Structure 1
């Protein structure tokens, strides 16, 4: 009986340990600034945020700003290429391309396209093109911004795109049923899996995400459906950004950067 009791307690302790598995993030530094939302940082170490609908870029020595009063609210900013930023104004069906000093390179109003486009998602793709989710046709396409040509690459699909993200080769999104899908530049759509409920989410690989639920940050991998709590100092926070093993936690007073190594 004594041996059985010890064995039971051993498995109970093991269960608790698995449920409370945490990764401890190591604090690097804190940057103070007033912002409404934090976008992220680029490969050159510059930080991007929005204050009063002005896009602000800041490094250690200089600050740049871009504002367009006629287009109103900024919906999304793509930082993939710091020399060619994509600023999306969904309410005006417009994208603005900016250089590394936030000078306007090109403004694209999709309402003026020969093929009707109502863009509800967009980002930078490979080869002078933009990813576009055209909600009029419920299809994903590629827009060549040098030739002003749009090409649809998927069949129509049912379901609303909630959060989405893009890189040069893929457009990925999560629908209202928590299904995580992606589309390549040839139009092939793959369902990667189902993700947990979240308030904010960021994909960091083909099978891994970091997400916020309440005031807790989690790492989740589709491989084994494993969830791990990421522990850091802030008790409450607005958003986060992860890149190159650096985790930025945003509050309205600025960001705190942490080092975290994800296996």
Structure 2
């Protein structure tokens, strides 16, 4: 009888533990930035200050600025050798290397056919995921051949955010969070219940709402709250199991416990 009671207790504890994601604060650092972009396993820190992208390492730093293209809309550092910088006002993407030197310039105002882009994220090889807001679909674009490899079915609601890894792309709209494979097929979709921003975390997604962060487990299909102190979240990023949160003054580094 005691053995059965103990087994029930352990099972109950296991199920309970899977209903939330706990965190451990590892460190916090001062940071003066307009926008925090990301930090990786090699301690490379990326942020935007005065419309300039800055990469800081232990012994040196690099920067990139192009005032002719207007304000920076987004920076994606998932592939640190091919960083993409999006300037929405001029419908242009710049590809940078690991020292923030320009590799390619993609001006979609002169492309044939014309593409009106609202969101950009990294694909595999020499590809980018682009959201074409005139046609309301995602396309996997090869910027070397200047051809679209795949297109998704159009979506019917406003797009809020876009994130990716090499295998999947996640599109957040006002109605749903969509997950696509690299052929442009829908893997799953989740109803948007106050989701504002998203970041890929391996095969899962970290979701920002008005007051907190949520972990979406792609295997269990569960939305799990991430346990954090009450704090302002200006920007966040995630690298493997490390969550970074910036509150306009401090950059916090948390270890996520997802198992």
Give the TM-score band, short-chain normalised.
Answer: 0.7 to 0.9
Q: Quick check: 2:194–2:210 contact (8 Å CA) kept in 1?
A: no
Aligned length: 244
In structure 2, relative to structure 1, the CA distance for the partners of 1:26 and 1:169 (3 Å cut) is closer
**Residue equivalent to 1:31:** 29
- Of the three residues 88, 97, 108, the one matched with 2:86 is 88
Q: Distance in 1 between matches of 2:221 and 2:115?
A: 40
Is contact 1:42–1:82 with CA below 8 Å preserved after alignment?
no
Q: Is the CA contact (8 Å cut-off) linking 2:157 and 2:174 kept in structure 1? A: yes
Q: Deviations over 1:206-247 (max 9, x none)?
A: 4x4333334433334463644334124x63332222222111
Compute the RMSD of aligned alpha carbons.
2.6
Tell me what 1:153 maps to.
151
Helix, strand or coil at the partner of 1:210: strand
Q: CA deviation at 1:253?
A: 1.6
The C-alpha deviation readout for 1:109-167, integer Å capped at 9, x for no partner, is 01111111111122222231222221122222232222223345234332222111122
Gaps of 5+ in 2: 1-11
1:27-176 equivalence runs, <5 A: 27-176=25-174
Unpaired runs of at least 5, structure 1: 1-13
- Is structure 2 residue 225 aligned with structure 1 residue 228? yes
Query: Aligned equivalents of 2:177 and 2:169: distance in 1?
Result: 11
Aligned to 1:9: none
Q: TM-score, normalised by structure 2?
A: 0.83
Aligned equivalents of 2:216 and 2:96: distance in 1?
34
- 1:244 and 1:186 map into 2 onto residues whose CA distance is 24
Q: Identify if the C-alpha distance between structure 1 residues 172 and 237 changes in structure 2 by more than 3 Å, giving closer, same or farther.
A: closer
Q: Name which of structure 1's ranges 221-230 and 159-168 shifts more when overlaid on structure 2.
A: 221-230
